[in-house]
Structure 1
C-alpha cells in the first residue's frame, strides 16, 4: 500500500511524515524569499550610501538565513534517508523513527563548517551583487564627474578598504564610464532587465537571451554565449540569474544623465 511499510508487528504509516516533509519544503521557500528580501535591502543601502554598519547587519542576516537553510536541508535529508532505509530493510520490529532521524541529522551536522555558505547560491550571489554594485556606482560617478571623482576616490580608497576589507573599492575600478557595459550583446541596446550567466559571467537582456536559447534548443542545437570571444558553448536556462546590481546601476546612470542634461 502507498505510504506504508509492512513488518511482522504490523504497518508503519509514512503519510503523516510525508505531509510534514511537504510543509518543511514550503518553509524552505520562505527562507529563500527571506534571503531575496535581505539582498534587496542590502543593495538599497549601498545605493543610498547608508552607513556601512547597517549593511553589515544585512550581511549577518543573510548568514543566519543561510544557516537555517543548511540546517533545514539536513533535517529533510535525514527524514528522507530514514524512510528509505526502513522501507528497504523492513525490520521485524517497528523502529524508533524519531531516534533514527536525530542520529542521521546529527551526523550531517557534524560535517558543518563556515565554508558551507560558499556553496549556498543565494549567499554567493548576495556577496557578488554588493561588490558589483559598488564597482558600477564608482564607474558611473567617474564617467559623469571624472576630475572630481578621481580626487574623491583616491582620497577615500584606503578608508573604504579598511571598512570593507576585500569587498572595498579596488584601484583598478577607478575607471571611466566607458568601461561599464550596459549594452546587451544581442540587441545592442541598453539593458532594462539584465541577467547574468553564472558560467561565464556575461550579461544579456533577459527576453533576448531566453528567446535565443529557446530557439536553439527547439532546433536541437547548443546555445553559445553571444559575447564575442566567450568559450561557453552550451548555455542553459539554469545558467541565468537576475543581475540586480547591474539593473540598479543602469537605472542610476540613466537618472543622473537626465539630471545633467540642459532643460
Structure 2
C-alpha cells in the first residue's frame, strides 16, 4: 500500500505555497515594478530579480515533486522487503531514499525552466514592464469610464494596433467579447492553453474574468483595417 502522500488526493500545501509565490512574481510584483520604478535600468534589474525568484520557485517545485515520487518508490520497496522478512533497509532509510531519488530525472534544466508556463507568462508581461509600457497603460486606464469607449474605438481605427501581451503588431486579431479588447490570436490561445489564470492585461479593464476560448471571436473588421494599412 502506498503512503498517504499529499499529492495523492486533497490539497498539497507545499505546492500551493510555491504556486502562490509564482503567481505573486507574475502578477502583483511585476505590476509594482511598473508603477514604482521610473528608469529602464531600474525596471530591468527588478524584473531580472523577479525572474530569478520565479526560476527558484520552479526548481523547488520540481525537487518537491521528485521527493514525493522517491518517497512513494521507497515506501513500496521497503514494504515489499518487510513483507518478505527483510528489515535491512529500514536501518538505512536515508541512503535508500537518496538512491531512489537519484534515479529520477534530476534537477530541472534551464531549458525546461524557459518552457515552464509561468515563465512564458512572466516574459510576456516583463517585456511591457521593461519598456515602461505597462505603467503608461495603467496611467491611461486609471480614468477610464464608459464615456471613453468611443475614444477607444477611434483609437483602434486610427492608432497603432499591438497585442497587449507581446507588443507586436496584430496580424490575426481576436476580440474578448466580455470587454472588447483585442489580442493576437496565436498568442492568446497559447497563453490560455498553458495558464488557466490568464486575464485581460489591459490596465483599467473592468473585466476580471479569466479568459477562455469561448470569450474570443475573430475581429474581422479590425483585420480588414489592418490589411488596408
Q: TM-score range by the shorter chain?
A: 0.5 to 0.7
Provide the aligned length of Structure 1 versus Structure 2: 173
Shift of 1:251: 2.1
- From 242, 249, 261, the counterpart of 2:202: 249
Shift of 1:78: 0.6
Could you say what secondary structure the match of 2:65 adopts? Answer: helix
Larger Rg: 1
Q: Determine if the alignment matches structure 1 residue 104 to structure 2 residue 121.
A: no
- Report the Cα distance in structure 2 between the residues aligned to 1:180 and 1:45, rounded to whole angstroms: 31
In the TM superposition, what are the counterparts of 1:41-190 in structure 2 within 5 Å?
41-45=28-32, 47-48=34-35, 50=37, 51=42, 52-87=44-79, 90-94=83-87, 95-96=89-90, 97-108=93-104, 110=106, 112-131=108-127, 137=133, 173=168, 183-184=175-176, 187=177, 189-190=179-180
- Report the Cα distance in structure 1 between the residues aligned to 2:128 and 2:172, rounded to whole angstroms: 11
2:222 corresponds to: none
Shift of 1:26: 1.5
Q: TM-score, normalised by structure 1?
A: 0.48
Residues 27, 71 of structure 1: CA spacing in aligned structure 2 closer, same or farther, 3 A cutoff? same
Shift of 1:179: 7.3
Instruction: Give the structure, 1 or 2, with the largest relative contact order (CA under 8 Å, sep 6 or more).
Output: 2
Could you say what secondary structure the match of 2:180 adopts? Answer: coil
Residues 195, 71 of structure 1: CA spacing in aligned structure 2 closer, same or farther, 3 A cutoff? farther
Residues 31, 110 of structure 1: CA spacing in aligned structure 2 closer, same or farther, 3 A cutoff? closer
- Report the Cα distance in structure 2 between the residues aligned to 1:117 and 1:41, rounded to whole angstroms: 21
CA RMSD of aligned residues (A): 4.8
Question: Is the 8 Å Cα contact of residues 59 and 108 (structure 2) preserved in structure 1?
Answer: no
Gaps of 5+ in 2: 141-154, 161-165, 207-229
Q: TM-score, normalised by structure 2?
A: 0.54
